[in-house]
Structures are given as structure tokens and as C-alpha cells.
Structure 1
Amino acid sequence: MNLLPILLFAALLVYLLSLAILSSKWKWRRAKNERIQGGVDYPVTLLVPFRNEKKNLPGLLRNLAGLSYPNLQIILIDDHSEDGGGDQVEAWILAENKHNFKLISGQGQGKKAAIEQGVVMANANIILTTDADCTLSADWVQNMLRAFDDPSVQMVAGPVMTKGGDGTFDHFQQIDWASILLMTNFFFSIKKPVMCSAANMGYRKEAFYHIKGYQGNHGNPSGDDSYLLEKIYQRFGHQAIRYLASSNVLVKTHPVGSISGFLEQRSRWASKWNKHQFWQNAGGAVLSAFLSLASICSILLLLTGPIGVAMFAVYWFLKLLFEYFVLRKVLNTYEIPLSVGNLFLASVLHPIYVILVAFRSFLVKSRWKGRK
């Protein structure tokens, strides 16, 4: 047991140093009341694939109708919905007489096939994507397009955050998303991007065709965003990809309603850890699992007497202190408050959640919208 405190505090030191490094690359990016310039003349196509999203479609359609960009084509791709969602969208388009909206039925299986079909149908060279359970600000399109004023930029990604709620589980998900955004921003800032979200993404149609879309990745049912990021990075280099962390491009999504659904979603994401081209993906996953295991094992310090109890208290005090200041920095960017109580609960539960997701990603077949 004498070796345990040394190993735990070595792991703590690595964790705190990692948080400090990740935080150093995060800058305050709150939206400013400024005139939007550049990009407003580009024809743009927004792709929204959906499957079994009937409960979210009314809100989605109202939100998309409220986008203020004048030269926008919106294509909704029905990925073989089994809940009548496609009929609902078609009826709404006819009733509202929305000429810039188009509904198509997916010909292939899966989200990647749906997006590829949408790209073919797009009448614009600039393509943006989002998901059916998301909410966009009225000027989201204009703000995403600014980066494309640089002709060398082929792809743009932005932040995603769950909508606020009063429940502890809702706050836990926002804190978890803050850690994801922190890591995403860091790797973009060092020109080694490893992840992004198709809920808030855009690219040039020519670039999509140049890398042959998802060719080579159709065997993996998820990962339409990160695999595309890797291919564009490999073909065009880091200077062709931008990450916009400002609050004026934030996309909000619904929090997962249940713990089992949340673990299912995160396990699906985690199952891709060893399928990427870049070592950073696997390295980050392994390091996260190791540090989470160290936090769980820190409870063994309580069995080593008064000194062990004191070391346990120091371990968790430093962990909570660093997490509070680092994650609050991210959440403040999007005007999301962080209470000490919510952070404490998230900090205690997060290591357990990481290990559960890691085991689940290996042992349990993931499902998405009724598909394995």
C-alpha cells in the first residue's frame, strides 16, 4: 500500500497539468453585438438527416424557418424513419409553402448514406450540417460562413452544448460537454484536430467530393463527423480546418433523458476510439480511462490510517479546485452557471461513468434509433 499514494499523486499531477494545458488554449469567446460582414452572398445548403425524430420535428422546422440567412437551401433527409416523421415534414413544407425546404428519402442505410445523398442534391458549394434534435440561433449560418471568406478553409466546426434544465442529470451533461469542448478546442489550437460534431459543422462541396466522402468508413455506423474531419485534414492540412468556439455559433441540443440512454450514446462514441487514423484519439481515450481509474482507487487511501485520510482529502480538494476554475471558464463562455454542488457531484461520478462507458463500448453492441 506504500506505493499507492505515490501512484495516485503522480496520476493527479498528470491530470492537473493536463487541465492547465487544455485551459491555456481556451479564450473568452462570447458573442458580440457586431455587424455581420462577409459570407452573406454565398449560396448555402443546410443538411439535416433524421430518423425517428417525430417528437423533435415540429420544433426543428420552426427553428429552421427562423434562420435569417437569405440564400439558404434546407434539405431534410429521412433516414428510413419508422414513426411517420417523413410524412410530418412533407405536410409541413406544403402547408407553410416553404420553397427553400426540400425533403428527400434516404436510399442507403445510415446517416453517412443520408448525408452523401444530401450532398448530391445540394445546389450550393457551401454545405452546413446539423441534427434534428438541435436548435440554431437566427444568425448561425452567417457566423459559420465567416471562416469560408478564406478560400483555403475547407471545413468549419463549432461547439455543441445541451440545453439547460433544473435536474442534476441535466447539469452533469453540461459539465461533461464542457470537458469535450475543452479538449476539442485544444487539439484544434495545436493543429491536431481529433473530434468535432456533425450537429455543428460545415464544408465545401468540392472538398467532400475530393476526399470521396465517407468512402472507406461505411463499415463504421457512427463517426460521420470525426472521420470526415480526419480525411479533410489529411488531404488539405490543418490550415484548411477552423474551429469556432464563440457563443454566436453555439448549437444547443436536447439532453439525453435517461442514464441508460446517456451511457448508450457515450458508449457508441467511445467504440470508435481505436478506429481513427490519429494516435491522439486512442491516446486520449486510454489516458482518460487511466486517470478515472486512479480517482476511483483513491478511496483505498482511507484504509491506510490518518495520513491516508489526509492525502485523500488533498487529492480531491486539488482535483475539484482545478476542475471548477477550468470548466467554469468554458461554461461562462456560453453563459451557463456552474455551482460548486453540481461540480462536486459530477467530479465524483465522472470517473465511474468513464469506466462504465469504456467497458460498455467493448462488451455491448451499441444501438442508434433502433439499429445496431
Structure 2
Amino acid sequence: MMALFFFLFFLFMVVYAVLINYYHSAWSQLPEFVLPEKQPSVFISVIIAARNEEQHIPTLLQSLHDQQYPKHLYEVIIIDDHSTDNTAMLLQDLHFDGLQLKALALKDYVEERSAIGSYKKKAIETGINAAAGQLIVTTDADCRFNPHWLQSIAACYEANNAKFIAAPVTFYNQSTLLSVFQTLDFLTLQGITAASVYKRFHSMCNGANLAYEKSAFYEVGGFNNIDNIASGDDMLLMHKIFKQYPSKVFYLKNRWAIVTTEPAHNWKQFFHQRIRWASKADSYDDKRIFWVLLLVYLLNVCFLAGAIASFWNATWLLMVLLLLLAKVLIEFPFVNSVAIFFGQQKLMKYFPFLQPLHIGYTITAGWLGKFGHYEWKGRRIKK
């Protein structure tokens, strides 16, 4: 039995090493997008679903107002998702010269207790139905943007005749252990996202920074057949569009395109967020990412099992420590290269020491994402 476990553990590590090397190579090959001299001219509709975001709305609107993209070429549509704070009032009272702002209330379309799977998808769909733009850009209410954010997205769209664009996301406010841990974890995910999209290896993205053609959204039926899933307004939609236009899905690797978002405030909120992300794993139509996630999960379970077994046999402890070192050496060059792009290389000194925490959270979030429940924005969602 012990020999079999050793073999499987080692096998998972070898396959994982090959996978991470593949991602690293793809990330390095992906060129940074250089904006052409020709100014883009596509009309953009920025869609934001907001629930209880009163503390973020003023900064959000200011950041959108400060975009260098011509004011007559973009609009902002914010859909209030049954907020219980002053979000709706702020959307009505705040005004910024030149900013085309539409504020919609989801309660006018869907009641709070309606039996729908995802209020966020319904809010985004409501916004798209009201949108005048040819290009839909989605983000979150707690995000901040480079002044050239929309310009870079529009330029990528026009240069590639894109149907779907995944773009970079990171965290601001890296002053606590939790925020540093989240940032490093997210850097890994962003590198994998860019690599997988570039190589058409599997579908992956983040809803805080997406763009897709409005006509493509309708052509694939929007959120139909995935609207019963609480999460997945990003990756599940992406794969629907990818199946229709496999050569027209891109990752925008450009520093101007980076969106910064707020990390979870506490460990409970963090775990609920990650459980929410993990909850859609068995709903992926793209089975390629399912096998990647399964490999990662099984490898982490092996680390936990080996650590538990080490209480009875010191050989297990030696094996776990050696393979943990191998894991760090495998991942570090890849994550470091991504950190350089995001200007967060200074955080890499913490990377080796946070490995045990990362293993524990991966196992816990993966298990509860499949069999548990989570809370998000004051709503309790069961699997």
C-alpha cells in the first residue's frame, strides 16, 4: 500500500511539473499587446452588477469617468441587484460630466425571492438587453481601472476581430497576510488563464475584466442552460463562445488592461468566495479544465495524506518535505514571471512559506464547492 501511494504521489507530481512547465512556456511566448497608432472607434457598453456596494460606487464611477477613451464611445450600465444599503440611491445621486450612466434596478425585472439560479447572470443579461454598445465589457463594482483600460480593450477587439477577450486582474491593498496570500494565489490563476487562452488549451477567465461582442452573446444563447448555476457568468459563457468561435477568443496581455479589485476582507469571506468559484467545476462543458482541476486536487490530497501519515512514520514526513520543495521549485519560476508583469515581484519572498496554507485551502474549497454551501452578498447558496 505504501509503495502504491509513493508511486501515485510521484506520478501526480511529474504530470503536474509537465503541466506547469507548459503554462510557463505559453505565458512566456504570449506577446504583450501593443496598441496600434490607429485609434479604436467601437462603442462600448460597460456592464456592472452591483449588490450592496455603496462604499465602492463613488470610486468606481470616478475611475470610469477618468477613462481616456472618448466619452461619446462608451456608456456605463450598473444594475442594482436588490441592494439593502444605499447603492441604488448613490447611483441616482452621483453625476460625472460626460459620463453616460444608466442605473437599472433588477427588482423591476426579477423579484428577490424568484426561483432563479443566478441573480448576477440575470443582472448582466438585463444590462446587455439595455446596452447600445457593439462590445460588452463586464467588471465588478469594487474594481479600479487604468485610464487606458477601455482603449486597450477596444484596440485588441478591433485588431483581432475578437469575439471574446479575457483580460488581467489583480488585487490592491496587500497589507495583510490574507491579502498577500490571495494576491499570490491570483497571480498563479492569471498566468494559467493567459497561457490556456493563448494556446486554446482550455477556457479560463475572470468576470472582473471581460469583453465580448454583443452579437456573439446572443448568438450562443447568452446564459441559457447555465443560468441555473449561481456562479459561472464568466468561464461558462466563455466556453460557449469558444465553441462557436475557437479562433476568436483572446487574452489581452497589456499592463494598461489590468483591473485591480478588492481582496476578501477576512478568511471566512475568502473561503466562501473560493467555494463559490469551485462550485461550478462539475458544470464545465469544457472537460479539459476538469481534468486539470482534478490533477491539482489529487496532488494536494496526497500532501495532506502524507502529512497525516508522518505522525506514525517519519519516512512520510521526509517524502512530503522533499515533494513540497519540488512543488515550490516547479511553480516559482512561472509565478515569478507573472508577478513581474503585474509589478508584484516583491511578494514572491512569501511564496514558499505559504505553500502549506495553499494546500489546505485548495482541499477545503474543492470539497465544499462540490458538497457544501456558501454565502455571498448576503445570500446562502447550496450545491
TM-score w.r.t. length of structure 2: 0.89
User: Cα 1:37–1:82, aligned 2, differ >3 Å: closer, same or farther?
Assistant: farther
Q: How far 1:108 moved relative to its partner?
A: 2.8
- Which residue of structure 2 aligns with residue 86 of structure 1? 88
User: Cα 1:36–1:310, aligned 2, differ >3 Å: closer, same or farther?
Assistant: same
- Which residue of structure 1 aligns with residue 327 of structure 2? 319
What is the aligned-residue RMSD (CA, Å)? 2.2
| Percent of aligned pairs sharing the same letter | 25
Contact 1:29–1:333 (8 Å) recurs in 2: no
| Alpha-carbon distance in 2 for matches of 1:319, 1:99 | 48
Contact 2:184–2:347 (8 Å) recurs in 1: no
- Which residue of structure 2 aligns with residue 334 of structure 1? 342
Structure 1 counterpart of 2:374, from 339, 347, 366: 366
Q: How far 1:255 moved relative to its partner?
A: 0.6
Contact 2:43–2:134 (8 Å) recurs in 1: yes
Q: How far 1:361 moved relative to its partner?
A: 1.4
Deviations 1:77-125 (A, max 9, x none): 11121112011111002xx455511211122361111111111211121
Deviations 1:209-257 (A, max 9, x none): 2122111222112211112111111222x11111113322111110101
Paired letter, 1:247: R
The answer for unaligned runs of 5 or more in structure 2 is 112-118
Q: How far 1:3 moved relative to its partner?
A: 4.0
Structure 2 counterpart of 1:202, from 199, 211, 215: 211
Q: How far 1:346 moved relative to its partner?
A: 2.0
Deviations 1:17-70 (A, max 9, x none): 2221111111287979x7653452222111111111111112111111111110
Contact 2:198–2:250 (8 Å) recurs in 1: no
- Which residue of structure 1 aligns with residue 244 of structure 2? 235
Matched residue SS, 1:82? coil
| Alpha-carbon distance in 2 for matches of 1:47, 1:302 | 53
| Alpha-carbon distance in 1 for matches of 2:66, 2:142 | 16
Matched residue SS, 1:26? helix
2:74 aligned with 1:66, yes or no?
Answer: no
Deviates more, 1:189-198 or 1:320-329: 189-198
Contact 2:303–2:320 (8 Å) recurs in 1: no
TM-score w.r.t. length of structure 1: 0.91
| Alpha-carbon distance in 1 for matches of 2:275, 2:212 | 27
Paired letter, 2:67: L
Contact 2:231–2:279 (8 Å) recurs in 1: no
Contact 2:35–2:155 (8 Å) recurs in 1: no
Deviates more, 1:326-335 or 1:244-253: 244-253
Q: How far 1:164 moved relative to its partner?
A: 4.1
| Alpha-carbon distance in 2 for matches of 1:289, 1:251 | 28
Aligned residues: 367
Contact 1:126–1:203 (8 Å) recurs in 2: yes
Matched residue SS, 1:128? strand
Deviates more, 1:2-11 or 1:60-69: 2-11
